[in-house]
Amino acid sequence: MSEPASHFQRFRIDVAYDGRRFDGWQSQPEGNTIQDHLQASATKICPGVATVQGSGRTDSGVSAAGQVAHFDVPGDWRMGPVEWQKALNANLPAAIRILNCEAVPADFHARFSAEGKCYVYRIETGDVLPPLLAGLAWHRRGFDPDGRLEEVARLFEGTHDFRSFSANRNDGKDESRDTIRVISSVTVDREEADSIKIGFCGNGFLYKMVRFLVGSAVYCIEGKFPPPEIIALLQGADRDRKAPFCAPADGLSLERVLYPPEFFPKP
Amino acid sequence: MSEPASHFQRFRIDVAYDGRRFDGWQSQPEGNTIQDHLQASATKICPGVATVQGSGRTDSGVSAAGQVAHFDVPGDWRMGPVEWQKALNANLPAAIRILNCEAVPADFHARFSAEGKCYVYRIETGDVLPPLLAGLAWHRRGFDPDGRLEEVARLFEGTHDFRSFSANRNDGKDESRDTIRVISSVTVDREEADSIKIGFCGNGFLYKMVRFLVGSAVYCIEGKFPPPEIIALLQGADRDRKAPFCAPADGLSLERVLYPPEFFPKP
């Protein structure tokens, strides 16, 4: 007698996408979201596959270099992770790619196991936004922070109540939600001419939080939102006041989702 | 009495575009070409503007970092090049950008004054084509020329009859056309991991010529098109035989158009 098959096998997928082509991550009736395309491809390959679960939503226009999701396949469905990666990519639009696929234990969960995330926000400062970057960067002609971006970034790092730096999702959960987050690092990369890439890593991010932080940093450097006001809002001085500006979705990309090392031991 | 205005002022524009979004350069009845968008924008700004004339066509799917065109404006229309650049960009889709605009003498012609062009062709060799490069590169998983690309490139350089490395345009001009061209340089850039960028500069390129040369180089390295056969075709051994493979439009970008220095003296 052969060993009984387990009821299902869970797979983790690492997903990159061009956010310009889709209506965000979250499944919608119209169906042109990342989750919808992943679900349709997985179901086409294996009709019994369970819902594709992401680490979190990304908004319309937001791209990803390292989104993570998982899905469950009936235990008697014999397909390994390399086959799944190839089959999914063969069925997905070219603007969504599975970068990696691996079999994971059933207690791994793309959303609930996540310990943190890293985002990058791109600002382009040249006279003309290059056409290939249209929709992938916030165009702020002539913006020159001249070292002050690093100073503002220091204000964001650490543990704060980021309620004032987030938008309501209008899903009824906002009043009671926990809005304390830890930002472990904010980095500024100016290696490419006319490009500013601001990296955020933290244990979690509220809805539109990175975009509010970027908007606040730019307004601060432009003199419209002085550091003491930023500090006051980060200290929860006025829970009903919002930061004055939310940067556009265009420049945002989800770079990495962080999980406990026990799930993915280094070889 | 004031000096009489000249009948028209000619402007040169340097244009970049994301070829994925348009049906090529050349005007079409449907209207979603680069030339159509430029013409519509220029005409909206100045109804009397004459036809926007490019240095040459680019095919559907081909991008440009430095296409050049000119257009003529009635002599009494008082708008300088900087205003033209801003006004055109304000009216164009973000995937087409005017990088530069300057007033030029009436004997400058974007097409007939051109002395040469430079193209870049991009091949991506990684397991998965990153979504942001979908449509911008030819994906050849695992292709590793290992130095041989430079050797094949040497065969293309110089003066040859490139008839076998071009497609017919079906415009009735093919039988009598001059198919001799000079390729001044072919360069191979492997600075980015998993990327191969092949640069071609020459006095002119036939229809689909760069794509036939790239396809021939890849076939040569894969053993399907030996160097003696390439050399024989370049020497005009069989004018009716075509090179065996034309690389896809995706990887091609027009980088520069070269003009005599008398038109654009260095400051």
pLDDT tens, residue by residue, A113-153? 999 999 999 999 999 999 999 999 999 999 999 889 999 99
Q: Does B136 touch chain A (CB under 8 A)?
A: yes
**Res A237: pLDDT:** 74
Least CB-CB distance to A128: which of B17, B89, B132? B89
**Res B19: pLDDT:** 97
Mean predicted confidence (pLDDT) in B236-247? 86
* A150-159, A244-253, B237-246: segment of lowest average pLDDT: B237-246
Reply yes or no on whether the pLDDT at A253 is more than 60. yes
Strand partners, A152: none
Task: Give B 92-121 residues with CB within 8 A of chain A.
Answer: 94-99
Q: What is the mean pLDDT of chain A?
A: 93
Q: Which tops the pLDDT comparison, B39 or A171?
A: B39
pLDDT digits (tens, 9 = 90+) for A99-108: 999 999 999 9
C-alpha A209/C-alpha A181 separation (Å) is: 10
**Res A1: pLDDT:** 46
C-alpha A42/C-alpha B40 separation (Å) is: 44
Confidence class for position A4, pLDDT limits 50, 70, 90: low
Q: Does B258 touch chain A (CB under 8 A)?
A: no
Reply yes or no on whether the pLDDT at B222 is more than 70. yes
Strand partners, A68: A14
pLDDT digits (tens, 9 = 90+) for B45-70: 999 999 999 999 999 999 999 999 99
Q: Does B63 touch chain A (CB under 8 A)?
A: yes
Complex ipTM value: 0.87
Mean predicted confidence (pLDDT) in B181-209? 96
Interacting residues of A235 by C-beta distance below 8 A, sequence separation 6+: A160, A161
Percent pLDDT > 90 in chain B is 84
Residue-range domains of chain B with CATH: 8-109 (3.30.70.580), 116-256 (3.30.70.660)
**Res B177: pLDDT:** 76
Q: Which tops the pLDDT comparison, B141 or B174?
A: B141
CA dihedral B255, A132, B13, B28 (to 10 degrees): 100
Mean predicted confidence (pLDDT) in B34-39? 98
Neighbours of A56 (CB within 10 A): 18
Q: Does B18 touch chain A (CB under 8 A)?
A: yes
Reply yes or no on whether the pLDDT at A74 is more than 50. yes
Residues of A in Cβ contact (< 8 Å) with B128: 89, 97-99
**Res B1: pLDDT:** 46
Picking from B108, B49, B249, the residue whose alpha carbon sits closest to that of residue B38 is B49
Residue B142 amino acid letter: G
**Res A41: pLDDT:** 97
C-alpha B121/C-alpha B246 separation (Å) is: 12
Instruction: Spell out the long-range contacts of B27-35 with Cβ–Cβ below 8 A and sequence spacing 24 or more.
Output: B34/B58, B34/B64, B34/B67, B34/B96, B35/B69
Percent pLDDT > 70 in chain B is 95
Contact A97 B136 (CB under 8 A): no
Residue B17 amino acid letter: Y
Mean predicted confidence (pLDDT) in A216-230? 94
**Res B174: pLDDT:** 53
Picking from B48, B51, B47, B30, the residue whose alpha carbon sits closest to that of residue B39 is B51
Percent pLDDT > 90 in chain A is 84
- Catalytic residue, chosen from B59, B171, B178, B194, is B59
Catalytic residue set of A: 59
**Res A267: pLDDT:** 66
> Could you tell me which chain A residue has the CA closest to the CA of B64?
A131
Reply yes or no on whether the pLDDT at B265 is more than 90. no
**Res A169: pLDDT:** 74
Residues of B in Cβ contact (< 8 Å) with A130: 16, 65, 97
**Res B240: pLDDT:** 82
Picking from B169, B189, B194, B192, the residue whose alpha carbon sits closest to that of residue B179 is B169
